[in-house]
Amino acid sequence: MAERASWSLGSALRGIFGAKTIDDDTWDDLEAALITADFGPGVTEEIVEQIKAQVERYRTTDPRDVQRMLREVVEERLAKYDPTLRLTERPAVVLVVGVNGVGKTTTIGKFARFLRSYDRSVVVGAADTFRAAAVDQLATWAERAGVGIVRPEREGQDPASVAFQTVEQAKRDGTEIVVIDTAGRLHTKGGLMDELGKIRRVVEKQAPISEVLLVLDATTGQNGLAQAEAFIEHGGVTGLVLTKLDGSAKGGFVLAVQEKTGLPIKLIGQGEGIADLTGFTPHVFAQKLVG
């Protein structure tokens, strides 16, 4: 992670933690900082109340205690969700879903590389078959990551058949992990979910689906979440990937998104390079967020 991450609350909180004593301004400023960072009104209120109660219990007047308490409260809340990727099946099949433009293709490239760095063998499936450009883009990322790709034989081929062929090839070759790209936009939302359902059914005839990762753009925060609602309700999502955190000032979204969806964050993307994807560690994240 970058040393001074854009999503860090550090500068917004400096005035509060640097003050001489805890007073009413402490709470007003803390609330404003958390709202600005996209924690959302509900979570913000709860966190402020939690810290106020602790300050009273320990009878402290030192603002630096507020910083420590905030760090602990954030970490504790982040850690309620298990960020472990479940990839023990062979092959382990991962579907990657999300609306267009959130960074799905880039994430698959980075994820393939991430898995290769743990010596796993990987094949990606280009089941977003409606745009030839999307397939080419995925092929470029697969090449960079040093993994194989299964492409549609023609434009507009049934995405489920590409997914099927990818899993089939992995089973034949003994490839450990299958990562399947899916479309983010169809004419109707219903159509998109039907298509995803079909991919799932067809794949499950050959192998269980280990993970369905929903990719979300952190710069769009809670608005982006609304756009992804159909995936959350109907997509069988098992985990979240937050992209573009490097360009986001919405560090609080990281906590809000888990609590709103009830889904764990499993990966975070912080840049356009192939190495800019990491697992999610609540302790490290809380430390960087609060300072």
Q: Does 136 bind ligand GTP (CB under 6 A)?
A: no
Instruction: Collect all residues with Cβ–Cβ distance below 8 Å to 101 and sequence separation of at least 6.
Output: 184, 217
Is residue 10 part of the contact set for ligand GTP (CB under 6 A)?
no
3-state secondary structure 171-201: HHHCCCEEEEECCCCCCCHHHHHHHHHHHHH
Q: Map 269-282 to HEC letters.
A: ECCCCCCCEEECCH
Q: Is 247 in the site for ligand GTP (CB under 6 A)?
A: yes
Backbone angles phi and psi of 243, in degrees to 5? -105, 165
CA–CA gap between residue 122 and residue 142 (Å, rounded): 9
Binding mask 198-237 for ligand GTP (x = CB under 6 A): ----------------------------------------
Write each residue from 82 to 111 as x if it is in contact with ligand GTP (CB under 6 A), else as -, in one continuous string: ------------------xxxxxxx-----
87 is an annotated ligand-binding site residue: no
Among the listed residues 28, 204, 233, 272, the single contact to ligand GTP using CB under 6 A: 272
Do the annotations mark residue 98 as ligand-binding?
A: yes
Selected binder of ligand GTP within 113, 151, 244, 288 (CB under 6 A): 244
Residues 152 to 191 in contact with ligand GTP, rule: CB under 6 A: 184
The strand pairing partners of 123, in sequence order, are 148, 178
Q: Which of 269, 282, 289, 290 binds ligand GTP (CB under 6 A)?
A: 269
Neighbour-count burial of 102, counting CB atoms closer than 10 A to its CB (0-12 exposed, 13-18 middle, 19+ buried):
buried
Q: Would you call 104 helix, strand, or coil by DSSP?
A: helix
- State how far the alpha carbon of 15 is from the alpha carbons of 46, 230, 287, in Å: 21, 41, 18
Q: Least separation, in Å, of the C-beta of 40 and ligand GTP?
A: 22
Report the interface residues with ligand GTP, using CB under 6 A: 100-106, 134, 184, 243-244, 246-247, 269-272, 276
Binding residues for GTP: 98-105, 181-185, 243-246
